[in-house]
A and B are shown apart, each in its own frame.
Chain A
């Protein structure tokens, strides 16, 4: 259970996250549901199109689960990939499991199938809203090598709760996209420390973009998932008005900060430069001692 989440494949994560032997896959690789479009680009296909969907047990609870494979096409949303996730969420609405887990590992839309991927992301967000309205928590786990970018970042922002590790970067425009469009002086994508402290798990947890920061192990993500499925917010006007106030307050308080370390200092962190090196336990201790780091509304 000390298996690294970042290093593990999607299938390894699923097997180790759920109760042993409980996973049942839907439309698995033996069915060869592959992209009809990648051959046009002379690109190899995957038997699962880079996503595993199915159901299993999490400490006895019935869960539906989707896991993206960041090592195939950057975990990007192609037509089949997206449709498997949408199908899983629609199935969950009628089969009513105790929770749905999404194991993000994605660069966003697969450009070779861009229109299908973009539309699938919109369908996914609608389906998540439907599930949350029905009282079924949708929990996102972010810690894969492809991070959670583009439309993946918007889907993450639609989930009831999020757990993220140090490697779990969350943003809309990725570092390379910002650099390509706006120049290296706006964002130097090769500056790994800058990427981590701007989009990484600790910054998201400190400022309210995630609910739990966890170690890069499957065991830590399992504990986080169990914690979060039990405290999902309602999807109603009160929650969204509270989220509106939370996001407006963040911009008012930190809108003039150029760097994450300036935000952390303003939050009351004594040694902002030391935050990236903190272990999860020490980081949790730091968060517990700060005011205004509980962010329930999402």
Chain B
């Protein structure tokens, strides 16, 4: 689905969501209350200015009080790779955006991520992965790194990686693998109106971070949940 189709499906009565320089901000009515929308469109890389534009919008929602949910729509590239971004503290700006979303969630604003296109690496961590619950639309393509780049870094032949990717969800790019890792909770139905599907997620938010439990149940992250639990157990002993 395109962003325009998503917004039309979410807000049949209209909305005030705008896109400028690939950055999404605005509001729309959902289930009788205001839904705040932020995000990245058009496979845009996320740099220092973009991260601060989005964090400002999130903090404005927190400052306004109440319990307006925040929807994070994502079709981004990775973080913007440049000398200038790193010189000026891209790690701080991306972390700041993630912290703004985590604070909003802690102060009673349900945060929902919806990935409908690409996203990768630091941009993915600072946006979609910093929400309370992350869902996707079919065709979304989250990744850490594409296979040709993985081949370059690991010095393994691309053909071997492609074969391995079919049986090993833990390293391969793509939506199915991120679902199996527990990072993406569910895939929405694009044929049905999105508003009620998002509203249902808000009603039934996971109480705690259950991504490692999902990863274990789905087989994409077989040991993380148990290792973390063993550390907790050792600390209590």
Residues of A that sit less than 8 Å from B by CB? 26-27, 31, 33, 36-37, 40-41, 53, 55, 64, 79-80, 82-84, 86-88, 90-92, 94-95, 109, 111-123, 125-127, 129-130, 133, 150-151, 153-158, 170-173, 177-178, 180-182, 186-187, 198-199, 203-204, 207-209, 235-237, 240-241, 243-244, 247-248, 250-251, 254-255, 257-260, 263, 298
Contact B144 A117 (CB under 8 A): yes
Contact A87 B230 (CB under 8 A): yes
**Extra A-B contacts (8), CB below 8 Å, given A41-B156, A112-B154, A129-B106:** A26-B235, A27-B231, A31-B230, A41-B154, A125-B130, A126-B102, A151-B125, A180-B152
Contact B90 A111 (CB under 8 A): no
- B-side contacts of A82, CB under 8 Å: 224
How far, in angstroms, from A118 to B83 measured CA to CA in the complex?
Answer: 23
How far, in angstroms, from A65 to B235 measured CA to CA in the complex?
Answer: 12
Contact B89 A247 (CB under 8 A): yes
Give residues 72-119 of B contacting A (CB, 8 Å).
Answer: 79, 81-96, 98-100, 102-103, 106-107
Residue in contact with A119 in the complex, picked from B102, B126, B168, B221, CB distance below 8 Å: B221
Contact B96 A247 (CB under 8 A): yes
Does residue B69 face the partner (Cβ distance < 8 Å to A)?
Answer: no
How far, in angstroms, from A88 to B229 measured CA to CA in the complex?
Answer: 9
Contact A33 B126 (CB under 8 A): no
Contact B231 A88 (CB under 8 A): yes
Residues of B that sit less than 8 Å from A by CB? 48-49, 52, 55-56, 59, 62-63, 79, 81-96, 98-100, 102-103, 106-107, 121-122, 124-126, 129-130, 143-145, 149-150, 152-154, 156, 164, 168-173, 177-178, 180-183, 209, 211-212, 215, 220-225, 227-232, 234-236
Contact B171 A244 (CB under 8 A): no
Contact A119 B215 (CB under 8 A): yes
Shortest Cβ gap from A120 to chain B (Å):
7
How far, in angstroms, from A150 to B81 measured CA to CA in the complex?
Answer: 11
- A-side contacts of B227, CB under 8 Å: 27, 33, 79-80, 83-84, 87
The residue of chain A having its C-beta at the shortest distance from the C-beta of B134 within the complex is: A122
Name A's interface SS: helix
The residue of chain B having its C-beta at the shortest distance from the C-beta of A152 within the complex is: B91
How far, in angstroms, from A221 to B149 measured CA to CA in the complex?
Answer: 36
Contact B99 A158 (CB under 8 A): yes
A37-B168 contact given A171-B90, A243-B96, CB 8 Å threshold: yes
- A to B CB contacts below 8 Å, 8 in the list: A53-B231, A87-B229, A94-B236, A187-B83, A240-B55, A247-B96, A251-B48, A255-B84
- A-side contacts of B56, CB under 8 Å: 244
How far, in angstroms, from A113 to B221 measured CA to CA in the complex?
Answer: 9
Q: Which of A26, A127, A156 has the most CB of B within 10 A?
A: A26
